[in-house]
């Protein structure tokens, strides 16, 4: 059987057993796989913490090809995407065999190293470019011909061909945060036009509970209490996107670590909720959100009293 040699920069991903699949997630992954199989790059766009990277890596794993992961960075330039000349080999020779004659000879050579994109492009791997809008738009220019014509122009310094044609299995997945986020650039319209953008928002109730339970190890009942509290906080704020499932997981992990349940949680859990949920609440909404948290925790404790 032929086993493909995979460079060290590529990952062999298998769908993770920790990945939660609910009808909501299956719908998202199904749509992404359809677009990719039809030959279109897929872009998951949405606020921080809604599960974009996890989703992109899961979809990449489902494609069954080695995966190359790139993370956007404002210091990237096009050579970081294509490759560049790195390192050098310096040779210095001093010949003083005849004492009255000194002969020196110095030479230096650099060598070309392909980037992850170039390697994925040639070998037909899946490229996951996470947070691609954190790179400056001009650094991503090379992607225009990569996505549309499936051609990668190469600098002369590389030697050999001036263009590479994409391997038929080469596929791309992107993720990004909204432009309003700090450190995020507006991507070129031309680049966005070449991708199918799937907008990812907060998960549905069932998925949020399942992910909280699986990732923090709390009981189903605790996961339900946490998600219900977080949803109430979201509703009470003008920015209804946060807190996300990431906050639910952190609250669950802390509850679990303390060996408590949401119903029997003491005053410490209220403080944990405030620490995790309050920091990004706007000043004028803080009192309202604090009341929502207290009411929700109070209701959980009253239910427990009736239960006992
Ligand atoms: N389907 C899922 N199954 C299990 N865990 C998940 C799933 N989706 C998201 N998570 C968990 O939710 C958390 C947030 O997900 P992730 O890091 O992918 O979000 P993101 O949208 O990429 O955030 P950011 O924009 O900040 O990078 C992670 O802890 C992740 O493991
Ligand atoms: Mg991410």
**If you measure from the C-alpha of residue 217 to the centroid of ligand 2, how many angstroms do you get, rounded to a whole number?**
22
| CATH number reported for the structural domain that contains residue 135 in this entry | 3.40.50.300
| Residue 137 in domain | yes
- On whether residue 36 sits in a domain, the answer given is yes
| Distance from Cα 131 to the centre of ligand 2, integer Å | 7
Same domain as 184, residue 136: yes
For ligand 1, atom 25: residue with the closest CA: 48
Whether residue 186 sits in one domain with residue 288: no
Using the atom order of ligand 1, give the atom closest to the CA of residue 207.
1
Ligand closest to Cα of 55 equals 1
Query: Are residues 174 and 44 part of one domain?
Result: yes
How many domains does the chain contain in total? 3
Instruction: Return the SS3 of 241.
Output: coil
133 and 121 in a common domain: yes
Task: Check whether residue 233 and residue 106 sit in a common domain.
Answer: no
pLDDT digit string (tens) for 234-277?
Answer: 999 988 888 999 999 999 999 999 888 887 777 788 899 999 99
Q: Which residue has the higher pLDDT, 229 or 13?
A: 229
Q: CA 45 to CA 197: how far, in whole Å?
A: 7
CA neighbor of 116 nearest in space, from 144, 86, 80, 140:
80
pLDDT of 113 reads 81
Residue 215 belongs to a domain: yes
CA of residue 111 to ligand 1 center, whole Å:
38
Give the domain extent around 102.
83-113
Domain boundary among 184, 199, 214: 199
Element (H, E) at 17: none
Give distance in angstroms: CA of 48 to centre of ligand 1: 9
Q: Ligand 1: list residues with CB < 6 Å.
A: 18-20, 25, 48-54, 177, 211, 214-215, 245-246, 249
CA angle 143, 76, 40 (to 5 degrees): 25
Q: Using CA atoms, how far apart are residues 57 and 62, in angstroms rounded to an integer?
A: 9
Q: Residue 264 domain-assigned?
A: yes
Same structural domain, 74 and 87: no
Pocket mutation for ligand 1, best pick of 25, 49, 226 (most atoms within 8 Å of C-beta)? 49
* Residues 70 and 125 placed together within one structural domain of the fold: yes
Q: Same domain for 127 and 139?
A: yes
**Whose structure tokens read 């509703």?**
235
Q: Note the pLDDT tens digit of each residue in 70-114.
A: 999 999 887 788 887 777 777 788 888 888 888 888 877 777 788
Please tell me the residue having the least CA distance from ligand 1 atom 31. Answer: 54
- pLDDT score recorded for residue 261: 84
Chain centre to alpha carbon of residue 145:
23
Domain identity same for 142 and 34: yes
Note whether residue 7 is domain-resident. no
């Amino acid at each position: 059987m032929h086993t493909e040699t995979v460079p060290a920069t590529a990952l062999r991903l298998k769908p993770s057993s920790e990945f939660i699949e609910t009808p909501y997630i299956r719908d998202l992954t199904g749509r992404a796989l359809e677009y990719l199989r039809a030959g279109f790059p897929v872009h998951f766009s949405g606020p921080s913490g809604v599960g974009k990277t996890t989703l992109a890596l899961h979809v990449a794993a489902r494609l069954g090809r080695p995966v190359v992961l790139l993370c956007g960075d404002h210091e990237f330039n096009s050579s970081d995407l294509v490759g560049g000349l790195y390192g050098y080999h310096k040779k210095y020779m001093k010949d003083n065999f005849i004492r009255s004659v000194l002969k020196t000879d110095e030479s230096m050579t650099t060598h070309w190293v392909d980037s992850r994109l170039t390697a994925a492009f040639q070998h037909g791997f899946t490229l996951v470019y996470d947070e691609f809008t954190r790179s400056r738009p001009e650094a991503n220019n090379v992607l225009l011909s990569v996505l549309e014509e499936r051609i990668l122009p190469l600098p002369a310094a590389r030697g050999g061909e001036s263009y590479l044609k994409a391997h038929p299995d080469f596929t791309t997945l992107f993720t990004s945060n909204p432009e309003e986020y700090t450190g995020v650039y507006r991507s070129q319209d031309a680049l966005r036009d070449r991708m199918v953008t799937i907008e990812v928002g907060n998960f549905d109730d069932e998925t949020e509970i399942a992910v909280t339970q699986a990732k923090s190890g709390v009981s189903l009942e605790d996961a339900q209490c946490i998600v219900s509290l977080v949803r109430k906080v979201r509703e009470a704020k003008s920015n209804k996107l946060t807190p996300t499932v990431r906050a639910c997981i952190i609250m669950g992990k802390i509850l679990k670590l303390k060996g408590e349940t949401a119903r029997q949680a003491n005053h410490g859990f209220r403080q944990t909720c405030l620490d995790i949920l309050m920091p990004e609440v706007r000043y004028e909404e803080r009192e309202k959100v604090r009341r929502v948290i207290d009411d929700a925790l109070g209701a959980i404790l009253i239910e427990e009293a009736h239960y006992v």
